[in-house]
Amino acid sequence: MSLRKILPALFLLALARAAPNPAPFTPAGGLGTNSTPPVYRPMSDFDFQSMNLALNQEWIELDLFHHGLAQFSVEEFDAAGINADDRFLIEFMADQEVGHATMLTNILGPTAAKPCNYTYPFTTVREFVDFCQKLTRFGESGVYGFLEHLDSRPSAELLLQSITTEARQQMIFRQFEGLFPMPIWFTPGITQSMAWTLLSPYITSCPAENPHIVFQNFPPLNIVNNPSAIPLTNSTCFNESTYPAITHNRSVPLSAPGFQVDLTWEEPGKVTGYNDSYMTNSSAGAPQFVAWISQLNTTYTPLFNINGTSGSTLQPNGTIFGSGSAPVVNGTVFIAVTDSDTFVTPFNLTELNAHIVAGPAMYQSG
Ligand SMILES: *[C@@H]1O[C@H](CO)[C@@H](O)[C@H](O)[C@H]1NC(C)=O
Ligand SMILES: *[C@@H]1O[C@H](CO)[C@@H](O)[C@H](O)[C@H]1NC(C)=O
Ligand SMILES: *[C@@H]1O[C@H](CO)[C@@H](O)[C@H](O)[C@H]1NC(C)=O
Ligand SMILES: *[C@@H]1O[C@H](CO)[C@@H](O)[C@H](O)[C@H]1NC(C)=O
Ligand SMILES: *[C@@H]1O[C@H](CO)[C@@H](O)[C@H](O)[C@H]1NC(C)=O
Ligand SMILES: *[C@@H]1O[C@H](CO)[C@@H](O)[C@H](O)[C@H]1NC(C)=O
Ligand SMILES: *[C@@H]1O[C@H](CO)[C@@H](O)[C@H](O)[C@H]1NC(C)=O
Ligand SMILES: *[C@@H]1O[C@H](CO)[C@@H](O)[C@H](O)[C@H]1NC(C)=O
Ligand SMILES: *[C@@H]1O[C@H](CO)[C@@H](O)[C@H](O)[C@H]1NC(C)=O
Ligand SMILES: *[C@@H]1O[C@H](CO)[C@@H](O)[C@H](O)[C@H]1NC(C)=O
Ligand SMILES: *[C@@H]1O[C@H](CO)[C@@H](O)[C@H](O)[C@H]1NC(C)=O
């Protein structure tokens, strides 16, 4: 046997000797499974910035749920099929947000973000519920995108326990909207920059001491003809197929593969964010594709009719694992205009940031 072969073997043997014998009933391996006390603190700037972004998300959710409950009358809620028990559930969700924000503030310490002032794009109960469904979708996906990349495993554990609760909020808002509760097999993650791009338009001003958010603010993307789950008729006219319920088969899907999606977006370099203290930025080249981030997949479709900052694409076909029954695009999914069709998978989605021309925006497919 040559020395080149023996050396690695000796190294492995030394490692095996050095490792303590696993305790009974405890398989070898794993992280943080020994008796060292866990430390619930950011271990890097990456940790601090990621969790502080999540905290900003928790603060807006807390404000949003209270704001919606205060903005509309009992009659307006009742007319939209959101009864007293449902309203109590929304109030309870606000309480959950108090818990989530407290937990993240405890992890981050005295420099953690404080609550801000917000602006909301709804004037009816149905629009409020639709906005909650979308905001909780990017809140949830925004955390899934970085959770597994955190240096602090103990902090990740706590954050996981809050975000699984938020996942239930998202589903309940879909049910309040009369949608199929979970038309996906997998919930996608998005990068922090994507989450920040989606969140920042709704934050108007923050305390001066709030930490500056370092993530990228991509130019906003607008879906001109986004399918809407909100009935065109007002609340007294909606029928049983759009009424709040545990589940509905929609008689008419909101969209289908082949649907033409028309897009407009902004050039980078525009002032944005709370107190106008941020600037949109893109390092991508010319727009060529649309990335559809959904399920486990990032699927690309060609952008056509490109004219400056507008263009169109077609909703993709295809199913997860070729199942034939679970479309890759279903529910509320993320779409972004990109300069290439770079292959990415859920753990290296960050590689997509450099290719984003604009977006993401939230496409409502079903
Ligand atoms: C929120 O808005 C109020 C009323 O405009 C203003 O007085 C306050 O300074 C704002 N707070 C923050 C943190 O921006
Ligand atoms: C944003 O504006 C508010 C209200 O004018 C002010 O109180 C706050 O200090 C400002 N925050 C920042 C980050 O400049
Ligand atoms: C809602 O629809 C009903 C019935 O068509 C109509 O009488 C009512 O004025 C409408 N309300 C609003 C706010 O549009
Ligand atoms: C109920 O709403 C669905 C979806 O908008 C529509 O297709 C259907 O015709 C409506 N049914 C009635 C009875 O109005
Ligand atoms: C609901 O949709 C599924 C899938 O299209 C179908 O198999 C099922 O029969 C539908 N259920 C009802 C009650 O229409
Ligand atoms: C989306 O999922 C729902 C529920 O499984 C299904 O009824 C619908 O057909 C799906 N939409 C598309 C476009 O396949
Ligand atoms: C989507 O794929 C299915 C199965 O391969 C096919 O039957 C259908 O025609 C396709 N639809 C579009 C719009 O391409
Ligand atoms: C985007 O950010 C990069 C790196 O900070 C900077 O060099 C570039 O000028 C920015 N572009 C715009 C349009 O602000
Ligand atoms: C491109 O956009 C410009 C400005 O919006 C418009 O005047 C022009 O007609 C468009 N060109 C085409 C080919 O659609
Ligand atoms: C979606 O991702 C799964 C898992 O990687 C893969 O099996 C499937 O082919 C992908 N579907 C499409 C349409 O890209
Ligand atoms: C992302 O990871 C996949 C493997 O899961 C790899 O094939 C792909 O090249 C990676 N993408 C980039 C841009 O690094």
- pLDDT (tens digit per residue) in 197-216: 999 999 999 999 999 999 99
Give the per-residue pLDDT at 95: 96
Arch. (CATH architecture) of 45-205: Up-down Bundle (1.20)
The closest residue, in CA terms, to atom 10 on ligand 4 is 239
- pLDDT tens-digit series, residues 133-162: 999 999 999 999 999 999 999 999 999 999
- pLDDT tens-digit series, residues 248-291: 777 677 889 999 999 999 999 999 999 999 999 999 999 999 99
Cβ burial of 281 (10 Å; 0-12, 13-18, 19+) is: middle
Domain ranges of the chain: 45-205, 221-239+252-364
The closest residue, in CA terms, to atom 14 on ligand 9 is 307
Give the per-residue pLDDT at 237: 46
Amino acid identity at 332: T
Token pair, residue 237, equals 């006219």
Whether 18 has a pLDDT exceeding 70, the answer reads no
With a Cβ cut-off of 6 Å, ligand 7 is lined by 257-258, 317
**Alpha-carbon span 15 to 36, nearest angstrom:** 20
Q: Of the ligands numbered here, which is closest to the C-alpha atom of 276?
A: 2
Q: Is 68 helix (H, G, I), strand (E, B) or coil?
A: helix
**Alpha-carbon span 283 to 216, nearest angstrom:** 10
**Alpha-carbon span 144 to 209, nearest angstrom:** 27
> Cis peptide leading into 20, omega within 30 of 0?
no
Give the per-residue pLDDT at 235: 45
Give the per-residue pLDDT at 250: 74
Determine how many CB atoms are found less than 10 A away from the CB of residue 12: 10
- Residue 207 beta carbon below 6 angstroms from any ligand 1 atom: yes
- pLDDT tens-digit series, residues 302-327: 999 999 999 999 999 999 998 888 89
Token pair, residue 354, equals 């450099």
How far is residue 262 CA from its own chain's centroid? Answer: 22
